[in-house]
Amino acid sequence: MFVASEDYNDVGLKLDDRLIKRPAATFFLRAAGSEPDADIKDGDLLIVDRAEPPAPGKVIVAVVHGEMLTRRLPPGWREDDGLEVWGVVTFVIRAP
Amino acid sequence: MPAFALVDCNNFFVSCERAFRPELEGRPVIVLSNNDGCVISRSEEAKALGIGMGAPFFEVRAIVIEHKVASISANHELYVDMSRRVCSVLARHAPVVENYSIDESFLTFPDDHKLEARAHAMRAEVRRWTGLPVAVGLAPTKALAKLGSDKAKKGSGVLSLLDAGIREALLDETPITHIWGIAKRSALRLAPYGIRTAGDFTRARDALIQSTLGIGGLKLAHELRGTSCLTLAGVPAARQSVTVSRSFGKPVYGFEALNSALATFAARAAERARRHGLRAGELGVHFGWREDDRPVMDGDSVRLAPTNDTPTLIRAAKALAERLFVEGRPYKKAGIVLGALEPADTAQSEFFDDGSAEKSTRLSKMVDRLNAELGPYTLRYGGEKSSTAWSSRCDSQSPCWTTRWEDLKTVRPAV
């Protein structure tokens, strides 16, 4: 049976489906400097979801004195400890 | 009962900049239009300093320097992307979302059950997901929802006018000129009948409203009384005029330079009118310059057989400019206003129509399409300026953080 090729345009794996849960809330940032504790290396592409709830152990982008900085939330972190969370880093993309 | 919401992004362009530059929070910030440097968005702190909407940069420069106001050149690519994000968050909360402008959307809800609480949740979600603050007005009609969102900005961010008592009290304290769609001219026509507040307007007789403001005014009165009659498609034409104007980077003296700037503005204005399906029955030209260190303006306008044809408008602008131009004047600003706008399809054709008008309009549309596809200024009409000698430099435009890989925001580790 002949099937028009457009019918298969959506077939295949798309990274967006895997890495971006909420497109409206997801932003790409670039790491400037390495941070072993957060598994981030200089130049990494960071996928940041502003809608993802922050939790201890997650890597976040925080706003400290007006600057956006990455850090891993410590085990005892709680929502009300005053740290301004910009978004949660959900994936890190880098060449090996 | 079905209900409407108007969601309005506060100081939208400034808020988009702040979303990626948190250091701008709490500081006075203004966004300037490209190539002209007129203020098109202000933070609350900048408003408090007395910086007016639309003010040319040179008029507010002293305030900017004295109060260290951050002045940013507009980055529409960023704003369009952020607007798209806001709309997709809104679509999670309402079945019908109509994007009224880049920073305003109307939402339709089939029922108003616990709507105020839902609106608070929606507002918090837009803030969390996009970083942008919004104000929400809830009401049984769109005109009231618009009024609600205007007032919500001063309060908790959500104002419900679903309750008739609250609504009437607010209308009684709102000057009629603050109502969406009531121009100063209309307000002047109502004043002799003692109609000064929106409340007065809702209590006026239908016959009086229709005879002074026409059927559009009557619809608005019904809307303000709480009877919805502006369906999603039937929103009143927001624009009563199309203005394209620029402040020049440095004074312009020659007629040719001035005329080519005007031709460019006329082309842009015509393009905008066509995009909205409108024709202009009036064209105005204005110039600004400084005398004894005070800004001075001069301008004039002509009636036209309704048109949105670029070459016709360029010719009319040139004729006006020739009359207004004075040799030796240091022109700092020029602009075009298209007025007496009407829907293009209902306009009567000219008595001696030889078909050339239609041909010309087809040409205009083709130019629009090519400019839209290949980038602005791809095709120009004779007289339109190709160099930007008259345009001021673009100071500091923010990177396209959300739309270009090479422009991504960088973040450093906390330690």
Token output for A30? 């670039």
Label the pairing between strands B104-109 and B96-101. Answer: antiparallel
pLDDT (0 to 100) of residue B150 = 93
Cβ count within 10 A of residue B132: 21
Q: Which of B234, B158, B147 is nearest to B197 (CA)?
A: B147
Q: Rounded distance, CA B251 to CA B329, Å? A: 9
Which residue would you say has higher pLDDT here, B303 or A88? A88
The percentage of chain A sitting over the pLDDT mark of 70, rounded to a whole number, equals: 90
Q: A16-30, A49-63, B388-402 — which is least confidently predicted?
A: B388-402
Determine whether B123 is exposed, middle or buried from the number of CB atoms within 10 Å of its CB (0-12, 13-18, 19+). buried
- Give the C-alpha separation, A14 to B257, whole Å: 52
When pLDDT is cut at 50, 70 and 90, the band that residue A66 belongs to is: very high
User: From chain B, which residues contact A within 8 Å (Cβ)?
Assistant: 20, 22-25, 85-86, 88-89, 125, 128-131, 401-402, 405, 408-415
Q: What is the pLDDT of residue B354?
A: 42
pLDDT of residue B376: 52
Q: At what angle do helices B142-152 and B164-172 cross, to 10 degrees?
A: 70
Counted across chains A and B, CB pairs separated by less than 8 A come out at 80
Contact B409 A29 (CB under 8 A): yes
Which pLDDT score, from 0 to 100, does residue B13 have? 96
The one-digit pLDDT tens for each residue of chain B (415 residues) are 889 999 999 999 999 999 999 999 999 999 998 766 889 999 999 999 999 998 999 899 999 999 999 999 999 899 999 999 999 999 999 998 988 888 999 999 999 999 999 999 999 999 999 999 999 999 999 999 999 999 999 889 999 999 999 999 999 999 999 898 787 888 899 999 999 999 999 999 999 999 998 888 898 999 999 988 865 444 444 456 788 888 887 888 888 888 888 888 898 888 888 887 788 888 888 888 887 776 777 777 788 888 888 889 999 999 989 988 988 888 888 888 888 787 776 433 333 334 455 566 666 766 666 656 555 554 555 555 544 434 333 358 899 999 999 999 999 998 7
What's this model's pTM, rounded to 2 decimal places? 0.69
In sequence order, which residues have a C-beta less than 8 Å from that of residue B43 and are 6 or more positions away? B11, B14, B18, B24, B27, B28, B29, B30
Q: Is the ipTM of this complex over 0.90?
A: yes
Out of A34, A37, A70, name the one closest to residue B411 (CB).
Answer: A70
- pLDDT for B152: 95
Nearest partner of B151 among B140, B159, B162, B143, judged by Cα: B159
Which contiguous run of DSSP H or E holds residue B206? helix B206-225
Return d(Cα B279, Cα B306) in angstroms, integer: 5
Q: Is the pLDDT of residue A9 over 60?
A: yes
The closest alpha carbon to B414, from A40, A4, A17, belongs to A40
**Which of B411, B412, B415 to mutate to test binding with chain A, by most A CBs within 10 Å of its CB?**
B411
Query: In degrees rounded to 5, what are phi and psi of residue B392?
Result: -80, 160
Can you say how many angstroms the Cα of residue B258 is from the centroid of all Cα atoms in its chain?
25
Tell me the shortest Cα–Cα distance from B96 to chain A, in angstroms: 18
Q: Which two structure tokens, joined as six digits, stand for B356?
A: 């050339």
> Which uninterrupted H or E stretch holds B96?
strand B96-101
Q: What is the pLDDT of residue B34?
A: 76
Residue of B nearest to A26 (CA): B129
